[in-house]
Amino acid sequence: MSPRVLVAEKIAGAGLDSLRAAGFDVDVRIGLDEAGLLEAVRGASALVVRSATRVTAEVLDAGSDLVVVGRAGIGIDNIDVAAATRRGVMVVNAPQSNVLSAAEHTMALLLAQARNIPQAHTDLRAGSWNRARWEGVELHGKTLGVVGLGRVGVLVAQRALAFGMHLLAYDPYVSAERARQIGVQLVDSLPDLVRQADFLTVHLPKTPETVGLIGRELLAQAKPGLRVVNTARGGIVDEAALADAVREGRIAGAALDVFAEEPTTASPLFELDQVVVTPHLGASTAEAQDKAGQTIAEQVVLALRGDFVPFAVNLAATEASSTVRPFLPLAERLGRLFTELAGGMVDTLEVAYEGHIADYDCRVLTLAVLKGALAPVLDEPVSFVNAPQLAEERGLEVREVTSSSARDYVNLLTLRGRVAGRDVHVSGTLAGRQEQPRIVEIDEHIVDLPPSRFMLVVHNDDRPGMIGRVGTALGDAGINISDMDVGRGPAGEHALMVLATDSPVSSEVIERLHAEPGILFAKSIQLD
């Protein structure tokens, strides 16, 4: 049965087509109320929403089969991310889908507020020709204060430069050098920014720390005549405080696209001629909606297939550089191979990164290792999100070790642990220009072959005839060998055979091998 994707709000048709092409059952239910959503989400593997649907802890509890919740846009304040993480549900968004549209809408509001365009339009349509009343100000030569130099903030800054504006910004997470590269001067604090700016534009996520950030106390310190623009998230600007400041003449005007409560038709700001408002139109372009629908479909497909999802917002590690990402499939397969060889869960798993890769953030690879290592011993699905929680619940301690040098290899991933008094160890790397995954060491034996869906690992005495006995047992069972390698142990008296087969090796074949003289251990392994 195909996984069901519940789409609770309208997304672009291209996104729906992508989900169907991936083989999923796409269930479009627009306009569900709370009770309807609770019923519809039961049995769904994925839930796709925009900004209107609230994905609460109750919804997540009802959706006990959910693997992923997708937000077709940037903001995720309508999703209980903490509850999703506790349940092991991945939350993904489309962070780059509407950045251009949002930046352009910011500039549109900036210009509309500076030149009183909506007010003059309404006045003229009502029969009044009031040129003097709607006199505006130029942007050229004015100082724009940018709060938050993320994707949208940078795009707005670049466009404001073209208008000849002087740019200041406050963002404690951006270096002065990076700001200089885009023509922006950083200031030390928000009060410093509002004391110097003629216009203030907000580009921050909505968090407990940012709610009410642009409030009464800050506005009291503003440069006389400041104009405030907010296209980020409602609630970051205190609407009542801003309205009071505009009425008192301390703030010359404002332009807002977002509000603390949405949808809304009542705000103290709506009564003021100096204020321009729009009903959350920042992402409302055909281009942005197409990109959001397509992007969120891609993320949902990756999540339901168990692959790494680059736009997951609740992973322990969300970064995967171009150097690290090719190692993800290898890391997951090494984790599974490790647990299969161990025959159970170890207490401590050491994950070592050696060589060039050790200079990068490898936390996402550790997640992949955990995902693979836990899968054989758990009945429930293991994902990049819930793997750390599941490991902790089972008392598995994970240690990362890094070294800039790797013996015999440019890069090497090694897993080590101990179970029932026995050491378990596997290593792998990517080889050649095509970066093909290779298993290169098992239990101190040097080998070299690609990981395969079906594998057989045999420990045996290092004496003639052993390869023939294994080959005969497999041949008699009709099992074809697609690849094979043999490695000697450090002491030389024992050897290890690793074989890739076209079909699984049955328990009967394993029993036959254990009965063969000189064979010490045989293990059938399935990596997918």
pLDDT at residue number 320: 67
Tell me which residue of 178, 192, 146, 190 sits closest to 165, measured CA to CA. Answer: 146
Answer whether residue 32 is part of any domain: yes
User: Do residues 129 and 243 both lie within one domain?
Assistant: yes
Answer whether residue 282 is part of any domain: no
Q: What element of type H or E holds 108?
A: helix 99-115
Answer whether residue 309 is part of any domain: no
Asked if 40 and 62 count as a contact pair (C-beta separation under 8 A), the reply is: no
User: Do residues 114 and 232 both lie within one domain?
Assistant: yes
Active-site residue, selected from the candidate residues 71, 105, 233, 438: 233
Answer whether residue 310 is part of any domain: no
pLDDT at residue number 179: 92
Q: Which two three-digit tokens encode residue 446?
A: 């040097």
Active site residue 463: no
Cis upstream peptide for 263 (omega within 30°): yes
pLDDT at residue number 450: 93
- Backbone phi, then psi, for 21, in 5-degree steps? -65, -25
User: Do residues 246 and 375 both lie within one domain?
Assistant: no
Number of separate domains in the chain: 4
Active site residue 280: yes
User: Do residues 350 and 297 both lie within one domain?
Assistant: no
Active site residue 233: yes
Active-site residue, selected from the candidate residues 50, 71, 105, 280: 280
* Residues whose CB is less than 8 angstroms from the CB of residue 282 and which lie 6 or more positions away in sequence, other chains included: 98, 101, 102, 105, 106, 231, 257, 258
Type of residue numbered 230? N
Whichever domain contains 498, its CATH number is: 3.30.70.260
Domain boundary among 387, 420, 443: 443
b/e per residue 240-249 (b: at least 16 CB within 10 A) = ebbbebbeee
Answer whether residue 87 is part of any domain: yes
User: Do residues 112 and 215 both lie within one domain?
Assistant: yes
Answer whether residue 150 is part of any domain: yes
Whichever domain contains 223, its CATH number is: 3.40.50.720
pTM of the model: 0.67
User: Do residues 105 and 252 both lie within one domain?
Assistant: yes
pLDDT at residue number 307: 81
Q: Domain containing 394: what range?
A: 315-443
User: Do residues 53 and 9 both lie within one domain?
Assistant: yes
User: Do residues 252 and 161 both lie within one domain?
Assistant: yes
**Cβ–Cβ contacts within 10 Å for residue 261, how many?**
10
User: Do residues 137 and 250 both lie within one domain?
Assistant: yes
User: Do residues 270 and 298 both lie within one domain?
Assistant: no
Answer whether residue 207 is part of any domain: yes
Digits of tens for pLDDT over the chain (528 positions)? 899 999 999 999 999 999 999 999 999 999 999 999 999 999 999 999 998 899 999 999 999 999 999 999 888 889 999 899 888 899 999 988 889 999 999 999 999 999 999 999 999 999 999 999 999 999 999 999 999 998 899 999 999 999 999 999 999 888 888 899 999 999 999 999 999 999 999 999 888 889 999 999 999 999 999 999 999 999 999 999 999 999 999 999 999 999 999 999 999 999 999 999 999 999 899 999 999 999 999 999 999 987 888 888 887 655 667 788 899 999 999 999 999 999 888 889 999 999 999 999 898 899 999 999 998 888 777 878 888 888 888 888 999 999 988 778 899 999 999 887 788 999 999 998 888 999 999 998 999 999 999 999 999 998 899 999 999 999 999 999 999 999 877 766 789 999 999 999 999 999 999 999 999 999 999 987
User: Do residues 294 and 217 both lie within one domain?
Assistant: no
Long-range contacts of 62-70 (CB under 8 A, 24+ apart): 62/38, 63/89, 66/41, 67/3, 67/303, 67/304, 67/381, 67/383, 68/92, 68/299, 68/300, 68/303, 68/304, 68/309, 70/46, 70/296, 70/297, 70/299, 70/300, 70/303
Domain boundary among 269, 304, 339: 304
User: Do residues 121 and 86 both lie within one domain?
Assistant: no
Q: Alpha-carbon distance 262 to 275, whole Å? A: 18
Active-site residue, selected from the candidate residues 262, 350, 400, 444: 262
Whichever domain contains 430, its CATH number is: 3.30.1330.90
